[in-house]
Structure 1
Amino acid sequence: MKPALPFLFFIFLISISINGQEFEVSGSVKDQNGDALVFANVLLKNQDSVLVKGTTTDEEGRYTLVNVKAGTYLISASYLDTSSDIRPLEVASDMSLTDLIILQTETQLDEVEVTYKKPTIEQLADRLIFNVENTSLSQGNIWDILKQTPGVIIVNDKINIKGSSNIGVMINGRLVNIPQADIVNLLSGSSGDNVESVEVILNPPAKYSAEGGLLLDIKMKKNLIAGYNGSIYNRYTQAVFPKHMIGTDHFFKGKKTDFSLSYSFRKSKDLRRFTDITNFFDSGTINEVWTTEQRTITRSNQHNVSGFFDYQINDKNSLSFSTINSFTTPANRFIDSETLIEDTSGDVQSSFLTANDSEFDALNSAYYLDWSHKFDKKGESISVATNYTFYQYNRGQDLDTDFFDSDGITTGDNDFTTQSSQKTSIYSAQVDYTNPIKKLSILEAGLRYSGINSQSAISQEGFDRTQPGISPTEEGIFDYDEQIMAGYASLNNSWENWQLNMGLRSEYTETIGDLDTANDPIKNSYLELFPSLSARHEFKNKHNLALRYYRRITRPRYSDLNPFQFFQSNNTVVEGNPNLRPAIRNYVSLEYGIGKDYSLEVYYFEDSNDFFEQVVQDNESNLLRFLSVNLESNITYGAEFRFNKSWTRFWDTYLLLTCYNKQNSFRDIDSGAILSNGLWTGNVRFNNYFTLLKDRSMYADLLYRYSSPMVLGNSRRASTSQLIISLSKTFWQRKAALSFSFDDVFNDGNFFYTRNYLNQDNSTFSRRETRLFYIGFRYRFGNNRIRDNKKRKSTDEGDRI
């Protein structure tokens, strides 16, 4: 920490001394005939495609954007369902731009309302942006949108990008610090209508924490023009069991304030089935075959509440407060399983039945407070961001097992109970400084501190101690503390045909894991540097070339570090590992593209100390153990081809073809031998978006996904495919929308895993409710339109009219 942070802090202090001013950008929006377009939206975004300024044109089609900081931007205009080209813009003085041209083919209307449109895709130097606001996709929840986001593959409720599941999820640039399973619950219970875009950040800038691999940033919309609007919605899902979600959203923008509030309630009953077949060994040969049929039913009620409040104190200072909350009220998970024990001839020797009845509840509450200040120099600013996140999970479990002989006669039982909890508190504060250097470069520097405390506790009783491999902790408390101190500096450059972003981040980490039943705590400290580089060049013939490199870290999840044994059935146990090491990733890629239609990317990345939850069979104790372990190596290289084409005004296509080789090396638990598990994998993603009916009020989306066999640690997963069909129809001058969706039409989206090496021979067939039918209704109210009567009304932000 000592060599790196003072250097970055020195850069930070030197940069603050520079001063400057702000500018105006003006121009006109016209159609192909040179006629002015009245009330066209004009949007100014930064290089990350985040909205900076927005306005509408006057009666002469002119617009003026005031108080624009010096820097590099993207400017575009939209009207009805058409848009101008996105134009790069370098602001260093007051500017009057050439006309933004929008091709128009329809008669202009006296009244223009919020309308739906097809998703669009933007490719920048370091990220891919999937714009979904006011599309048919927004009628679902946020998790549904991620399933359809280009480049994103959902595997067993885990987000995968380019063969990696180490993905950080952010909302409006703020990292969501909760376990993966709770991220699924949070996003599944949050309305997609609030989402403006999803950014797949392929090369995270140095200002972001080095935690995780790639990043997904979910951008939520705000009001652009003063006024109020809101909506109510209802969504019903039918799978094996029904599920239901209702909610409401509210947005208000005043002269100095910008406020939004969202609430949703989801009631669900979920089914998941497993078939585990394990060939247990004795003296190197298979002597027993254990077949388990498991059925899990989960009933839960979940409340999601989020709010965003922005206050413009004056021209130089602004304050914002936001909160994201998820509450799962007392819920129930009931697991019943039947295990048959056969010899190698198929004759039943014995069996047992297990009933696992557990009650659980979860709370995640995050609060963010941000302050920003603009200096006199145009584009120079400083901001302070603070965050507090609290997460709590409680679970009580009654597990009852009855044993039977080959004739079905009861021979014994094993009943026990557990009570477990986890509480995690996260504090963070970050200072960011931005300063334009000359005309073409922007310097960013900052410091960050975060502190984490996680406490896991368990009490359990009633175990049969004579069973081999059973060594549970009757009572225990595990405290985990982590401190991270970081500093960064980056330089973003933009020339006429070039974008060059480079940065360096330094993070010093201290951790202490203390189990009250152990002799000594486990301590660790390390200093790591994380460079990043993104370069993109636009050739005159619309060809482009991009190079990306980054180094990042993935620290173990707090639940992975939990050392306690937790039983799901009499022979299935989940175990954390307090000795897990953080994983370091080095990633490099080269991408070649032609306009917005074609791109080909080759990439390579290597994860050292990558960690997975491995399934290991204990042949001595006849147990299946789910263990969190570090891999010896994880190397992936491959190519990705993307095709994005608008065939007509009514039909758009997106095609993604991926082929990569993944090589995992892992250490066998019994022998200590290092083994390899590698395979070439191919993925296909084929999206089609259709606009139907003369008034363009119906939209249809068709998605097909296919994944060939792949490796995950010591496992191999068989191929899967899914077909998803979605429809959306608007009514009542587009104030109401009715949507339908049919997921996994052919029911081919479930997973089959095998683990076959040395004395390991087992398989798992996981069957979730992937075939789903959705029906949803949404009604909008408030100022959702503008009228051609020379009065400015409220519209939502983004390209919507």
Structure 2
Amino acid sequence: MKKHLYKILLLLLFAAAINTGTAQTNPSNNVSGTLQTEQGAIVDYATVTLLNAKDSSVVKGTLTNDAGIYFFDHISNGSYIVSATTLGYKKIYSSAFMVTGNTTVPTLKMLTDSRNLQTVNIVSTKPLIERKLDRTVMNIENSVLAAGNSALEILERAPGVTVDKDDNISLKGKQGVTVMINDKLTYMSSAQLASYLRSTDGSTIQSIEIITNPSAKYDASGNSGIINIKLKKNRQTGTNGSLTAGAAYGQNFRDNTSLTLNHKQGNLNLFGTFSRGDQKRKNILDIDRVIDSASTLTYFKQRTIMLNEVHYNNYRFGADYNTSDKNTLGFVVNGDFTNEYSNNTNTTHLGLTPAVTDSYQNTLTYIKQTYRNFAANLNDKVQIDTNGQELSIDLDYSIFHNNSNAKYDTYFFLPDGSSQMDPLYIRNQTPSVITIYTQKADYTYPFSKNLKLETGIKLSSVKTDNDLQAQVNNGNVFINDTTRTNRFIYDEKVSAGYISLSKSYKKTSVQAGLRAERTASTGNLVTKNQMVKRHYLDFFPSLFINHEFSDKHELSFSYSRRIDRPGYDNLNPFRYYLDQYTYEQGNPFLKPQYTNSFELSYTYNKTINITAGYSRTTDVNTQIILTDTINKANYQTNVNLQTQNSYNININSPFTIAKWWTGNINATGFYQGFKSDSLLGGKLNNGQAAFQGRLTQTFLFAKSFKAEVTGNYQSALTYGIFNIKPQYSVDAGVSHSFADKKMNVKFAVTDIFNTRRNSVSSHYQSVNLEVRQKNETRLARLTFTYNFGNSKIKVRQHQTGADEEKQRVKGGN
């Protein structure tokens, strides 16, 4: 491991050597400077113009960055003046200065324009769906439908995104999505990630970015791409904030509250968010199946009514401090303390012939789960020079304390309702602790305006400790159940380094990168004294090419190789029961899967985008159902299939029918093909063409009313050994702003016609089952938002028509 780290460090030293050599041979004159207010606060995104001192003719123009710094390159010798202007401040001019080499202009102080500071409020919103060069952006901040919804419910409405009955997230029909929060990996498994997103208030989200082919700078995990959830960040000077309160009702009542505060003064920016909520939801699960045991068919008809309650409290606070014009030091602390309660009633009818009950059983389940999670980040960003050379460092620490206490009481009956045998009482305690350390450094050096180098290293260390303590009642007291009690400890260390070079020509831009990741992992089945060790080094190349044929026609190509390491919950061999005939079990022998992905994209007029993609995955980590013929049980687990071939085409287009009526169409067609020469004693060759469509329409009424209607459709599709039936739904909402736009009230209904349901079947080899699940999806929501504090200057840009290990943490349930 050390040997590979030395190679990565040598790579960085090589980059630094190139930096030194290039800096010595670059003769261009550069002009730079900083804008501040009278109080010393930075002035970002102000317009700065370089003028000839002789005749005030314009030489160049630019904007200040988020540190208040502006920069002009390739400036001839001579005498110049700088002018600067931004909303709410008087236009200002510098004194004349001579340029004979690289020149730094003395800091300019912007003076408040009292005539314009009274009620400046430019409010022209971004479209809901926005296509950028390397990603699709869903702008949540001003969406009516986002009000009162959780992050998971919003994510389900993102283009090409689906969430299945087990809360697994898919993108364009493919699982293996990496979810990031503010460009940082979430380090959670599907179970815990779903719990976290369900307890994240949608009012705290600014946008969702969908990156289907990430560059070498990003972790190589996620075969279908990255979903980056950007939380709101306030840039206003002074103290301000917002308070949001909402309530919803479907079959049960829900409520949510969030408070966001921001204080920005001089070089210091303090921010914090606290949100809390109570959710109660009802789900109904029906399973029909047939099990062949010793040539005897047993028919099962099972219904589970699940009533879940979630009480969550999330917090996030931090600070950024500009120690100088070129250095920003910051920290962020976030966490949550959440309690979940599940009361499930399961009834299973058994018979040797269809529709005839020979016996039945009732299983009453009570589960209490607690999540106590904490994460801290320390970051430093250094702008080494005004050419764009910078170094950023991130240090992260996370700890997850998850505890689950479950009771299963099963009663057995004959068809007439009389008792068949003594009840079965079992219980589980499953404490789980996950500790994560990561260190990351990224370095950027522009050789010139058109040539840029990016390189960096990352080290991560993860340890999970899961202890399943199972007991069974022997008629008097609970005793240890040695057949189920187990302890699983998993250690994983990943060392990574990357280098990326980008070059821009007149009409063409090219970026090529290479990432290396070395993984060392140990899975320890303590109770069985069994170890599973793996060590492997992988290289992940990437290539991006973009060409503009004209202002209206643009073509892009991208390629990347990626890896998906098994989720921690998928490796954990513990059994989690629905009843004695239905359970879930991990597989400690799962191998990582690898994907090569290609994408070709065409953009017309910077708005309409058509993308075609192909990917091939080997050692496919796939969820399947296995049969325990001895106990007549089905259990869900994950195995490695040989290959998955995926083809997709996506069309995204905003449209404007009238000034008050705009919208967006997003349509994806795809094919998923799975192959395995040996699966459950047979050969698997499964695939099906499928379609996903989403139509969003936005209506503006007068100046303060806004309405949105969204329709969603997903056709039938095949995934592994499962056949999934179509899904469709319609959502709608309306909002009204008042009190000089400081207050806003929104009313929305999701799944108006109550049509969203999951229906899955599988008929492969010994597997013969039908699953139908109906969640509480039709909800009426009312949300109130109040913005307070310094909001005299609030500008939104008008446009017309960025953690892997957390991603894999066990949710503890």
> What are the within-5 Å matches in structure 2 for residues 440-589 of structure 1?
440-462=450-472, 473-589=483-599
Q: Which residue does 1:55 correspond to in 2?
A: 46
Is 1:686 aligned with 2:702? Answer: no
1:405 paired residue among 414, 435, 455: 414
Is 1:112 aligned with 2:120? Answer: yes
1:677, CA displacement in angstroms?
2.1
Distance between the aligned counterparts of 1:181 and 1:474, measured in 2? 21
1:212, CA displacement in angstroms?
1.8
> What are the within-5 Å matches in structure 2 for residues 674-713 of structure 1?
674-693=683-702, 695=703, 697-713=704-720
1:57, CA displacement in angstroms?
9.1
Amino acid at match of 2:14: I
- How many residues end up aligned between the 2 structures? 735
2:321 paired residue among 311, 334, 345: 311
C-alpha offsets along residues 509-532 of structure 1, whole Å, 9 cap, x if unaligned?
A: 000011112234110010000111
Q: Which residue does 1:647 correspond to in 2?
A: 657
Distance between the aligned counterparts of 2:374 and 2:139, measured in 1? 28
Distance between the aligned counterparts of 1:310 and 1:496, measured in 2? 37
- 1:722 touches 1:744 (CA, 8 Å); kept in 2? yes
Give the TM-score normalised by the residue count of structure 1: 0.86
Q: Which residue does 2:138 correspond to in 1?
A: 130
> Residue 274 of structure 1 aligns to a residue in which SS?
strand
Is 1:228 aligned with 2:239? Answer: yes
Query: Are residues 64 and 718 of structure 1, via their aligned partners in 2, closer, same or farther at CA, if it must alter by over 3 Å?
Result: closer
C-alpha offsets along residues 640-693 of structure 1, whole Å, 9 cap, x if unaligned?
A: 22222233322222112211111123577653x332221111111111122112
Q: Which residue does 1:623 correspond to in 2?
A: 633
> Residue 12 of structure 1 aligns to a residue in which SS?
helix
1:121, CA displacement in angstroms?
4.2
- 1:717 touches 1:753 (CA, 8 Å); kept in 2? yes
Distance between the aligned counterparts of 1:547 and 1:139, measured in 2? 37
> Residue 207 of structure 1 aligns to a residue in which SS?
coil
1:148, CA displacement in angstroms?
3.2
2:261 paired residue among 234, 250, 260: 250
1:731 paired residue among 738, 754, 757: 738
Is 1:744 aligned with 2:751? Answer: yes
- Percent identity between matched residues is 26
1:186, CA displacement in angstroms?
2.6
> Residue 156 of structure 2 aligns to a residue in which SS?
helix
1:756, CA displacement in angstroms?
0.6
1:274 paired residue among 282, 285, 295: 285
Distance between the aligned counterparts of 2:401 and 2:258, measured in 1? 24
C-alpha offsets along residues 429-462 of structure 1, whole Å, 9 cap, x if unaligned?
A: 0111110012201101111110000011011121
- 2:465 touches 2:487 (CA, 8 Å); kept in 1? yes
Distance between the aligned counterparts of 1:276 and 1:303, measured in 2? 34
Distance between the aligned counterparts of 2:656 and 2:124, measured in 1? 16
1:758 paired residue among 757, 765, 770: 765
Is 1:14 aligned with 2:24? Answer: no
1:475, CA displacement in angstroms?
2.9
C-alpha offsets along residues 464-494 of structure 1, whole Å, 9 cap, x if unaligned?
A: 99xxxx9964432211000001110001223
C-alpha offsets along residues 167-198 of structure 1, whole Å, 9 cap, x if unaligned?
A: 11112111111222332333333333443332
Distance between the aligned counterparts of 1:683 and 1:456, measured in 2? 38
Amino acid at match of 1:55: A
1:137, CA displacement in angstroms?
4.6
Distance between the aligned counterparts of 1:122 and 1:218, measured in 2? 15
Amino acid at match of 2:687: G
Distance between the aligned counterparts of 1:499 and 1:303, measured in 2? 45
Q: Which residue does 1:373 correspond to in 2?
A: 382
Q: Which residue does 2:248 correspond to in 1?
A: 237
Distance between the aligned counterparts of 2:786 and 2:120, measured in 1? 18
- 1:186 touches 1:304 (CA, 8 Å); kept in 2? no
Q: Which residue does 2:391 correspond to in 1?
A: 382
Amino acid at match of 2:736: K
Query: Are residues 52 and 634 of structure 1, via their aligned partners in 2, closer, same or farther at CA, if it must alter by over 3 Å?
Result: farther
C-alpha offsets along residues 308-367 of structure 1, whole Å, 9 cap, x if unaligned?
A: 3111111232211012212113x3211111111123253221111111112111122211
C-alpha offsets along residues 525-579 of structure 1, whole Å, 9 cap, x if unaligned?
A: 1000011112111111511111011111111111111112222212111111111
Query: Are residues 123 and 499 of structure 1, via their aligned partners in 2, closer, same or farther at CA, if it must alter by over 3 Å?
Result: farther
1:797, CA displacement in angstroms?
6.8
> Residue 609 of structure 1 aligns to a residue in which SS?
strand
> Residue 580 of structure 1 aligns to a residue in which SS?
coil
Distance between the aligned counterparts of 1:303 and 1:638, measured in 2? 39
1:368, CA displacement in angstroms?
0.9
C-alpha offsets along residues 600-652 of structure 1, whole Å, 9 cap, x if unaligned?
A: 22111122222233222333321120112222222211212222223332222
Distance between the aligned counterparts of 2:208 and 2:455, measured in 1? 25
- Which deviates the most, 606-615 or 476-485? 606-615
**Unaligned segments of structure 2, at least 5 residues:** 24-28, 36-41, 50-55, 75-84, 89-100, 105-115, 801-813
1:165, CA displacement in angstroms?
2.0
Distance between the aligned counterparts of 1:797 and 1:177, measured in 2? 32
Query: Are residues 265 and 591 of structure 1, via their aligned partners in 2, closer, same or farther at CA, if it must alter by over 3 Å?
Result: same
2:728 paired residue among 721, 732, 744: 721
Distance between the aligned counterparts of 2:621 and 2:86, measured in 1? 46
- Which deviates the most, 752-761 or 477-486? 752-761
Distance between the aligned counterparts of 1:13 and 1:785, measured in 2? 48
Q: Which residue does 2:172 correspond to in 1?
A: 162
> What are the within-5 Å matches in structure 2 for residues 590-601 of structure 1?
590-601=600-611
Query: Are residues 718 and 382 of structure 1, via their aligned partners in 2, closer, same or farther at CA, if it must alter by over 3 Å?
Result: same
> What are the within-5 Å matches in structure 2 for residues 58-137 of structure 1?
65=64, 67-68=69-70, 111-113=119-121, 115=123, 117-137=125-145
Distance between the aligned counterparts of 2:338 and 2:691, measured in 1? 37
- 1:295 touches 1:337 (CA, 8 Å); kept in 2? yes
Query: Are residues 674 and 3 of structure 1, via their aligned partners in 2, closer, same or farther at CA, if it must alter by over 3 Å?
Result: farther
> What are the within-5 Å matches in structure 2 for residues 258-297 of structure 1?
258-284=269-295, 287-297=297-307
> Residue 700 of structure 2 aligns to a residue in which SS?
strand
Amino acid at match of 1:729: H
2:647 paired residue among 637, 647, 652: 637
1:268, CA displacement in angstroms?
1.3
C-alpha offsets along residues 722-779 of structure 1, whole Å, 9 cap, x if unaligned?
A: 1111211111111111111111112221111101122221111011111111111111
Amino acid at match of 1:587: S
Q: Which residue does 1:88 correspond to in 2?
A: none
Distance between the aligned counterparts of 2:203 and 2:317, measured in 1? 15
Query: Are residues 691 and 499 of structure 1, via their aligned partners in 2, closer, same or farther at CA, if it must alter by over 3 Å?
Result: farther
C-alpha offsets along residues 72-126 of structure 1, whole Å, 9 cap, x if unaligned?
A: 9xxxx9999xxxxxxxxxxx9999xxxxxxxxxxxx9972336463525443332
1:233, CA displacement in angstroms?
1.0
Superposed CA RMSD in Å reads 3.3
**Unaligned segments of structure 1, at least 5 residues:** 28-50, 81-91, 96-107, 787-794
> What are the within-5 Å matches in structure 2 for residues 118-197 of structure 1?
118-140=126-148, 141-156=150-165, 157-197=167-207
- 2:125 touches 2:796 (CA, 8 Å); kept in 1? no
Query: Are residues 345 and 249 of structure 1, via their aligned partners in 2, closer, same or farther at CA, if it must alter by over 3 Å?
Result: closer
1:302 paired residue among 296, 309, 312: 312
Q: Which residue does 1:776 correspond to in 2?
A: 783
Q: Which residue does 1:437 correspond to in 2?
A: 447
Distance between the aligned counterparts of 1:641 and 1:385, measured in 2? 37
- 1:25 touches 1:64 (CA, 8 Å); kept in 2? no
Give the TM-score normalised by the residue count of structure 2: 0.84
